[in-house]
Structure 1
Amino acid sequence: MNRRSFLTTTAALALAATSLPALAEEQLKVGFIYVGPVGDMGWSYQHDQGRQAIEAEYGDKVATTFIESVPEGPDAERVLTQLALEGNKLIFATSFGYMDAVMNVAAKFPDVKFEHATGYKTADNVAVYDAKFFQGRAIQGTIAGRMTKSNKIGYIASFPIPEVIQGINSAYLHAKKVNPDAEMKVVWAYTWFDPAKEADAAAALIAEGVDVVMQHTDSTAPQAKAQEAGNVITFGQASDMSAFAPMPRVTSTIDNWAPYYVQRVGAMLDGTWASGATWGGIDTGMVEIGEISSAVPEEVKAEAMALKDAIAAGTYHPFTGPLNKQDGSAWLAEGETPDDGALAGMNFYVEGITAELPK
């Protein structure tokens, strides 16, 4: 090898050696933490579908990782810190109870961007995002009110936060709208994901004569318990839960996070990411309605789909006055609808629900 060839080869090797770390640094690392297992077939499963959509969209430009079944509280702060230290520059925290942990860790890592699902606290490097689940509950309530034979509808609730209370109120109002005799019984499970507790809650409701079970918890245990009963209908929560169709699961509210995740990762890649708050609904595709099964009469299906279309078009709001609070005090006047801020702070049942709301 002559001197010129030696120098050329040496220069090429040096360039390659310096380029490889540069390429590695260009790959965006994105982390996720989930409150349940990715196999819950509900909330965490659906978020993980969004993570996989990121990989499908951006390929080698990104590297994603997730940590599942992270309890809300101190463990969340530890896991978020771990993800930041591992070089993740965008971290999605996918449960309401992670909020304070996100804010604490974000303050320590100002060069890392955080996205918090269903929360309300923001910072320069913290954005929040949520879906208008109450829109899907309106459709479920309509089907429930039409199909119940006992006039007793059960609701398995997780925690008494506005997101959950919105869903209970919306479901009740729309069941009552089509069936004035409908009643709603609420059981608080105080968990997002615990199949045993969820199954017990469903069993307790069914024992009280409920023939419709709704849920704002993440496992399919209530579906299985209703299937055992044989005469109880249910609705998929967060994901389709279509394995239980056509009965007991007659339709579902599906959380479609994929477009949002893809868009936010794209903003990181092109340098346009900014803090903000997103609250998408049926109109944006963030909330989807699963296929309505053959167990639902055609006229009820048509009514439910018409409601879905009206909500999507913005010609109907699930909370339209006149509406009173549970104690009889006025909330919304005739034709009035609440703004997003009022809904985000909802801490009361609407008139007609007899259950006591935990504080």
Structure 2
Amino acid sequence: MNKRTLLKGAAAAFVLSAGAVFADGHEPTKVGFVYVGPVGDGGWTYEHDQGRLAVEAEFGDKVETVFQESVPEGADAERVMTQMALGGADIIFTTSFGYMDPTINVAKKFPEVKFEHATGYKRAENVSTYSARFYEGRAVQGHIAGKMTKSNKIGYIASFPIPEVIRGINAAYIHAKRVNPDVEFNIVWAYTWFDPAKEADAATALIEQGADVILQHTDSTAPLAAAEKVEGVIGFGQASDMAEFKPSPRVSSIIDNWAPYYIDRVRAVMDGTWESTDTWDGIAPGMVEIGEITDAVPADVKAEAEALRDAMAAGEYHPFTGPLKKQDGSDWLADGEVADDGTLAGMNFYVEGLTGDIPN
């Protein structure tokens, strides 16, 4: 019998999951997942949990998965990881940027356990890092947004001022501006990954300020629900398809496809080939997918967006290709020059044309 256990508290960690043993005496590989939001968030955590379910489907009774949802970044995360490791986890996926230091701290105490940290940059002998090139999807969204806005005002709900989020803002703005020189971005920092009330308030405020396109780097469907209330406002699915809002206001989406990565890394633990690595994949390998572009998008704009997606998939185009300047007017990329991964990984500046400061 394939076991799936939700850890309700530290004391209960893995207690419920004990007992599955093969006829030859070997226990199934135990795989833990630590989530920053609820599995029903409809976005980021939902897609990570789809990856967990894919692991179960791939390996059946050879694996046993457990997860803890809505774990705050900080001491609580360290406690949950510790309990998973004490409970016998062979590999633990920690799925939020703020879990970086807790992951490193716990990994030091459990050198035989493999850890995989999403979106971070600190590694160890038993800690790998992995992320997706979400900015590729933001480029497609920016193109559609720039073409479809009638007010020339685009609202962007940002979570935290980390390079991942800043990259997304820049990529969306660059591609909106290229097709619509009059476009303006208004950025609201929500300082949360998942808070439907805050996200809805941010979307409503942006709409009241004239934005008729809402982009988001937060995890719930609340911004789309707010957009749905106002005729003519469109938005995009974040991290998952958010298909319940198709064909409008959700006109497309970025889908995070973690399943192949999770399956590969669990298999590596099972066959003894796991090594500490850093993975940063995008549209080409399928870690980032562009959801259906609906008929609410004009046919020519849809064709252009699909061509942009396909060019990135083929390696023929990079979203950060010069000429580009920084917000202060200084040169960044010369004509035809492509940004290097090191700069993108540590991005802490806006490109020329964006207004406002990046918070500390």
TM-score bracket relative to the smaller structure: over 0.9
Structure whose alpha-carbon radius of gyration is higher: 1
1:108-123 alignment to 2 at 5 Å? 108-123=109-124
Query: Within 2, Cα distance between the matches of 1:239 and 1:308?
Result: 17
Cα displacement string for residues 219-252 of structure 1 (whole angstroms, at most 9, x for unaligned residues): 0000000001122100000000010010100000
Does the 8 Å CA contact 2:22/2:28 hold for their aligned counterparts? no
Give 1:338's aligned residue. Answer: 339
Deviation, 1:340, is: 1.0
**TM-score, normalised on structure 1?**
0.94
Which runs of 5 or more residues in structure 2 are unaligned? 1-19
Give 1:174's aligned residue. Answer: 175
Cα displacement string for residues 162-194 of structure 1 (whole angstroms, at most 9, x for unaligned residues): 000000000000000000000000000000000
Cα displacement string for residues 41-73 of structure 1 (whole angstroms, at most 9, x for unaligned residues): 100000000000000000011000100000001
1:40 aligned counterpart, secondary structure: coil
Give 2:132's aligned residue. Answer: 131
1:66-145 alignment to 2 at 5 Å? 66-145=67-146
2:186 aligned counterpart, secondary structure: strand
Give 1:47's aligned residue. Answer: 48
Letter matched to residue 162 of structure 2? I
Query: Within 1, Cα distance between the matches of 2:161 and 2:213?
Result: 21
Query: Within 2, Cα distance between the matches of 1:144 and 1:77?
Result: 40
Say if 2:304 is the partner of 1:303.
yes
Query: Within 2, Cα distance between the matches of 1:78 and 1:242?
Result: 35
Deviation, 1:26, is: 3.4
Give 2:237's aligned residue. Answer: 236
Deviation, 1:23, is: 4.5
Give 2:191's aligned residue. Answer: 190
Say if 2:246 is the partner of 1:279.
no
1:110 aligned counterpart, secondary structure: coil
Query: Within 2, Cα distance between the matches of 1:59 and 1:280?
Result: 27
Letter matched to residue 240 of structure 1? D
1:253 aligned counterpart, secondary structure: strand
Does the 8 Å CA contact 2:85/2:113 hold for their aligned counterparts? yes
Letter matched to residue 243 of structure 1? E
Q: Tell me: CA distance 1:60–1:355, structure 2 relative to 1, closer, same or farther (3 Å).
A: same
Letter matched to residue 343 of structure 1? L
Give 2:15's aligned residue. Answer: none
Deviation, 1:326, is: 0.3
Query: Within 1, Cα distance between the matches of 2:91 and 2:209?
Result: 47
Runs of 4+ in 1 over 3 A off after TM superposition: 19-26
Say if 2:212 is the partner of 1:211.
yes
Letter matched to residue 31 of structure 1? G
2:37 aligned counterpart, secondary structure: coil
Query: Within 1, Cα distance between the matches of 2:25 and 2:309?
Result: 46
Q: Tell me: CA distance 1:79–1:23, structure 2 relative to 1, closer, same or farther (3 Å).
A: farther
Letter matched to residue 190 of structure 1? Y
Letter matched to residue 293 of structure 1? T
1:59 aligned counterpart, secondary structure: helix
1:231 aligned counterpart, secondary structure: coil
Query: Within 2, Cα distance between the matches of 1:231 and 1:82?
Result: 49
1:140 aligned counterpart, secondary structure: helix
Give 2:14's aligned residue. Answer: none
Indicate the RMSD between aligned Cα atoms, in angstroms. Answer: 1.1
Cα displacement string for residues 95-151 of structure 1 (whole angstroms, at most 9, x for unaligned residues): 000000000000000000000000000000000000000000000000000000000
Letter matched to residue 183 of structure 1? E
Give 1:9's aligned residue. Answer: none
Letter matched to residue 253 of structure 1? I
Deviation, 1:303, is: 0.3
